[in-house]
Amino acid sequence: MAQGGSGSTSGLMVSVSGIRGRVGDALTPEVVSRYAAAFGAWSVAQGGSRAVVVGRDSRVSGAMFHHIVVGTLQLVGCDVIDIGMTTTPGCQLAVEHHHAAGGLMLSASHNPIEWNALKLIGSSGLFLEASEGLAMRELLETGIPYATWDHIGEVRSDADVASRHIEAVLAIPYVDVDAIRARRFKVALDCVRGAGATIMPALLERLGCEVVGMNMEPDGRFPREPEPIPDNLREFERFVASSGADIGFAVDPDVDRLALVSEEGRAVGEDYTLALAARLVLRHRTGPIVTNLSTSLLIDDVAREAGVEAVRAPVGEVNVAVRMRELNAPIGGEGNGGVILPEVHLGRDAPIGAALVLQLLVEEARPLSEIVASLPRYVIVKDKLNRPDASLDTVYSALRAAFSDAVVDTQDGLRLSWSDRWVHVRPSGTEPIVRVIAEGPDEGAARELVRRSREPLDALRS
Ligand code: MG
């Protein structure tokens, strides 16, 4: 078992805020039903609403699991608000809108086509925190209190999630809709046949953009690896360049991550999405930027430029969101293209990211490639190893001794940092592996940090 009660049993990845597995392998109807029942029963036991929002992305297995989840929730006495095919931020917003007890989103995010997952959202619209996830899972052990025939919940649908989401984005005070419309941007869009088609084209059209899309059919038949990292966007890069677009937006299947392609047809790297969104927001708001311990130093540069602090939370969207709420941060998120803007809600949201980046293009009045070139460039190198049986404490001690001049952060594994580089060693929450991630001013520096950090890990494993 990994830390925090998370781990993998027979291929099922269990984390504090949900479960994930290969469809028909670890992810069976029985498993999905058990977790949905436990989540529904726990949610209504919190004493507020009996309503639970249910949404899904476009995955081929989504509609089938959707039926199972809706029926199961009814039999633990939940009133289901069925929002159909949607985005993860849309599901989070719907929980808040309906003052629901929680939300259940069927989406394995950026994972390959054979995966699906339950993502569990609390009544606040945030993913479950560790303590909530543990309390919810206790019901799996103690027994799920099913309803009798006369207490079966009702089902109603809500088809307005995307339109409310769009209005919320357009209402961000410093998104100048008229100014963006006046630019008549040509925008290329790649939704990887995920749920992005349910909101992104409509939002961009409201912003006066001419949209040229690829992979817009929301049928879940991903034509490539769905994670919006540069290696997976080569065809989209060519599409952006050949279409003469001002910018390219690529979203992941559940639309909480946004990657940018410049007008030159180059994927600029997903770290730049949050950096550029933060640069824009901090012209209009002040306060710290919150991100996680594995996010690029670009955020520190943007924070310095704005005269604010960059604060790092443990990896995991909810950890960033909770720290943002504590610090009243105006902007935060993750270096993987996940932008969180608390003025709308505390969840990663690609539609918000797209609007903020278009506003930045208006304000800077120069192409994306030039804006990106004005920021420093770092290189991140990622490695993973099988998790050793022994405790990682000896590894952390050895690394602290070997890098005695570093700033130490022990919130989540061990992160050692210097002014222009860092290395983060942490056990995965969902897989029996240890991740080693380093960033430096060039690839050699980052590789060297990974190499030296592996030494005590390799010694422990041999
Ligand atoms: Mg996602």
Q: SS3 letters for 275-339?
A: HHHHHHHCCCCCCCEEEECCCCCHHHHHHHHHCCCEEEECCCHHHHHHHHHHHCCCEEEECCCEE
If you measure from the C-alpha of residue 51 to the centroid of ligand 1, how many angstroms do you get, rounded to a whole number?
A: 24
Q: What pLDDT does residue 8 have?
A: 53
If you measure from the C-alpha of residue 161 to the centroid of ligand 1, how many angstroms do you get, rounded to a whole number?
A: 18
82 bridge partner residues: 54, 157
Q: Are 123 and 93 in contact (CB under 8 A)?
A: no
Query: For 233-289, how does the pLDDT look when each residue is reduced to its tens digit (9 = 90+)?
Result: 999 999 999 999 999 999 999 999 999 999 999 999 999 999 999 999 999 999 999
Query: For 82-137, how does the pLDDT look when each residue is reduced to its tens digit (9 = 90+)?
Result: 999 999 999 999 999 999 999 999 999 999 999 999 999 999 999 999 999 999 99
Given a cut of 90, whether residue 292 has pLDDT beyond it is yes
Note if the pTM is more than 0.85. yes
If you measure from the C-alpha of residue 88 to the centroid of ligand 1, how many angstroms do you get, rounded to a whole number?
A: 7
Q: How much of the chain exceeds pLDDT 70, in percent?
A: 98
- Per-residue tokens: 348: 């990663």
Which among 49, 109, 124, 453 is annotated as catalytic? 109
Sign (positive or negative) of CA dihedral 255, 258, 259, 261: positive
Beta-carbon contacts of 345 under 8 Å, excluding residues fewer than 6 positions away, are 89, 92, 93, 96, 125, 168
Phi-psi domain of 22 (left: phi exceeds 0; alpha: psi -120 through 50; beta: other): beta
Q: What pLDDT does residue 428 have?
A: 84
In Å, how far from its chain's centre is CA 138?
A: 26
Q: What pLDDT does residue 11 have?
A: 87
Q: What pLDDT does residue 9 have?
A: 53
Q: How much of the chain exceeds pLDDT 90, in percent?
A: 91
Residue scoring higher pLDDT (328 or 16): 328
Query: For 333-344, how does the pLDDT look when each residue is reduced to its tens digit (9 = 90+)?
Result: 999 999 999 999
Q: Residue type at 155?
A: V
If you measure from the C-alpha of residue 394 to the centroid of ligand 1, how many angstroms do you get, rounded to a whole number?
A: 34
Q: Provide the b/e sequence for 188-204 (b: ≥16 CB within 10 Å).
A: bbbbbbbbbbbbbbbbb
User: Highest mean pLDDT: which of 109-113, 324-328, 452-456?
Assistant: 324-328
Would strands 79-85 and 338-340 be described as parallel, antiparallel, or unpaired? unpaired
Beta-carbon contacts of 310 under 8 Å, excluding residues fewer than 6 positions away, are 288, 289, 291, 299, 300, 302, 303
Lowest-pLDDT range, 39-43, 60-64, 369-373, 428-432? 428-432
If you measure from the C-alpha of residue 89 to the centroid of ligand 1, how many angstroms do you get, rounded to a whole number?
A: 9
Given a cut of 70, whether residue 402 has pLDDT beyond it is yes
Residues in the chain: 462
If you measure from the C-alpha of residue 252 to the centroid of ligand 1, how many angstroms do you get, rounded to a whole number?
A: 6
If you measure from the C-alpha of residue 255 to the centroid of ligand 1, how many angstroms do you get, rounded to a whole number?
A: 6
Q: Residue type at 328?
A: N
Q: What confidence category does residue 462 fall into, taking pLDDT thresholds of 50, 70 and 90? A: low
Given a cut of 60, whether residue 6 has pLDDT beyond it is no
Beta-carbon contacts of 198 under 8 Å, excluding residues fewer than 6 positions away, are 85, 86, 87, 90, 162, 218
Q: What pLDDT does residue 389 have?
A: 81
If you measure from the C-alpha of residue 226 to the centroid of ligand 1, how many angstroms do you get, rounded to a whole number?
A: 9
Query: For 178-195, how does the pLDDT look when each residue is reduced to its tens digit (9 = 90+)?
Result: 999 999 999 999 999 999
Mean pLDDT of the chain: 95
In Å, how far from its chain's centre is CA 91?
A: 13
Q: What pLDDT does residue 7 have?
A: 52
Residue scoring higher pLDDT (23 or 4): 23
Give the mean model confidence (pLDDT) for residues 67-92.
Answer: 98
Q: What is the number of other CB atoms lying within 10 angstroms of the CB of residue 150?
A: 5
Q: What confidence category does residue 4 fall into, taking pLDDT thresholds of 50, 70 and 90? A: very low
- Radius of gyration for the alpha carbons in the chain, expressed in angstroms and rounded: 22
Cα separation of 128 and 47, whole Å? 16
- Per-residue tokens: 123: 């009544």
CA angle 243, 246, 251 (to 5 degrees): 85
Query: Is 10 noted as a catalytic residue in this protein?
Result: no
Cα separation of 335 and 360, whole Å? 18
If you measure from the C-alpha of residue 222 to the centroid of ligand 1, how many angstroms do you get, rounded to a whole number?
A: 14
